[in-house]
Amino acid sequence: MPVHNLQILPKVSDSWTYLYVEHAIIEQDDKAIAILNKEGKTPVPCATLSLLMLGPGISITHQAIKTLAENGCMVAWVGEEGVRFYAVGMGETRSAANILRQAAMHSDPDLRLRIVRRMYEMRFPEKLDPGLTIKQIRGKEGARVRDTYARWSRETGVKWDGRFYKQNDWRRTEPINRAISAANSCLYGIVHAAIVAAGYSPALGFIHTGKMLSFVYDVADLYKTDIAIPAAFRCTAAGESRLESRVRHLCRDLIREQRMLERIVDDLHRIFDISTLDQRESELFDRYYARPGNLWDPEEGEVAGGINYSEEEVS
């Protein structure tokens, strides 16, 4: 649908705005772009836009993509209402500060442990005892998720025997487990989009590891009890007809109602907040941190770019 008042565009965070568009044509309009559909033409000043999300039914011209790239606006191809993340195209080079911060904290065991504890703490309403080990916290997390499954089973009347499914025999999997898998897929898509939009890497996981989407799984676990599990149980209770489709639609509605893109990016900034680091951790972080545009040097750490460092004069 066209957006008639860009002042009401939702804020992903204080410095990131996004626009979701579906079933429309997007073309270049002077030095900006325009959205055309049956309701008319809506100009979009893409220089003030950080992320354009292209949903189903979009046709976009080469010149529009070129204009978006020249204005530094990232373009993401997504599913309906931003659910499912398919591909992304970057505009002009932006600050790498967030991904550098993520890499710095991922690379040091002490900083990584701090992030792991912080991400677990975000899942509980009460403050965790600082003396708990990670193994003990994982035990509490397992109990929290089991209690959530049991509660939704009681509330909906859907039988729950545990999380079991076979990818090679999908149709013989219990409906509730198929529904949970479909809901998780939607949640992973929106989390992936938010991570990329905020300038972080989906691969540098802290709790999960070894996959290109490890950090997506880390962050998605913060919201499964709010989005995926309720949607799966509610849709399964309503019957098996078009189950996965109904789950995706309900997830879409919950994601929109709970303003998940804004929430996820705000939580990412909380996860990587460095204001609580002690002096040793801050010094360690500073050694990793580099300003985008400089060059890495094995002896000096980093040196300014754009300088001829050869010993011989180049004619």
Q: The CATH number of the domain where 70 resides is what? A: 3.100.10.20
In the DSSP assignment, the letter for residue 9 is: P
Domain that includes residue 57, residue range? 6-89
Co-location of 195 and 69 in the same domain? no
Best CA proximity match to 104, nearest among 289, 312, 254, 235: 289
Co-location of 25 and 148 in the same domain? no
Co-location of 260 and 225 in the same domain? yes
In a domain, 259, yes or no: yes
Co-location of 152 and 174 in the same domain? yes
In a domain, 20, yes or no: yes
Question: How many angstroms separate the most distant Cα atoms in the chain?
Answer: 80
3-class DSSP string for 89-154: ECCCCCCCHHHHHHHHHHHCHHHHHHHHHHHHHCCCCCCCCCCCCHHHHHHHHHHHHHHHHHHHHH
Q: Of 61, 89, 117, which residue sits at a domain end? A: 89
Residue 279 has a pLDDT of 65
Q: Of 44, 70, 89, which residue sits at a domain end? A: 89
Task: For residues 122 and 223, give the distance between their C-alpha atoms in angstroms, rounded to a whole number.
Answer: 10
Co-location of 254 and 117 in the same domain? yes
Q: Of 62, 89, 116, which residue sits at a domain end? A: 89
Best CA proximity match to 20, nearest among 30, 32, 9, 29: 9
In a domain, 165, yes or no: yes
Residue 4 has a pLDDT of 44
- Could you give the angle at the alpha carbon of 297 between the alpha carbons of 291 and 301, nearest 5°? 60
Co-location of 134 and 267 in the same domain? yes
In a domain, 190, yes or no: yes
Q: What is the pLDDT along the chain (315 residues), one digit of tens a residue?
A: 444 444 434 444 443 457 889 999 999 998 899 999 988 999 988 877 777 889 899 999 999 999 988 887 878 888 876 677 788 776 554 567 889 889 989 998 888 998 999 999 999 988 888 899 989 999 999 999 999 999 999 999 999 998 876 666 667 789 999 999 889 988 988 888 888 878 899 999 999 999 999 999 999 999 999 999 999 999 999 999 999 889 988 998 898 888 888 889 899 999 998 877 666 666 655 655 544 456 666 777 666 655 555 555 444
Residue 239 has a pLDDT of 94
Residue 9 has a pLDDT of 42
Q: Are 304 and 295 in contact (CB under 8 A)?
A: yes
Q: Which helix (H) or strand (E) holds 53?
A: strand 51-54
In a domain, 53, yes or no: yes
In a domain, 279, yes or no: no
Co-location of 169 and 242 in the same domain? yes
Give the sheet arrangement for strand 74-78, strand by strand. 11-13, 16-21, 51-54, 74-78, 85-89
Task: For residues 11 and 132, give the distance between their C-alpha atoms in angstroms, rounded to a whole number.
Answer: 36
CATH of the domain at 193: 1.20.120.920
Co-location of 118 and 265 in the same domain? yes
- Phi-psi bin for 305: left (phi > 0), alpha (psi -120 to 50), beta? beta
Best CA proximity match to 255, nearest among 75, 95, 73, 53: 53
In a domain, 289, yes or no: no
Co-location of 102 and 85 in the same domain? no
The count of domains in the chain is: 2
In a domain, 204, yes or no: yes
Co-location of 35 and 104 in the same domain? no
Co-location of 141 and 14 in the same domain? no
Co-location of 157 and 229 in the same domain? yes
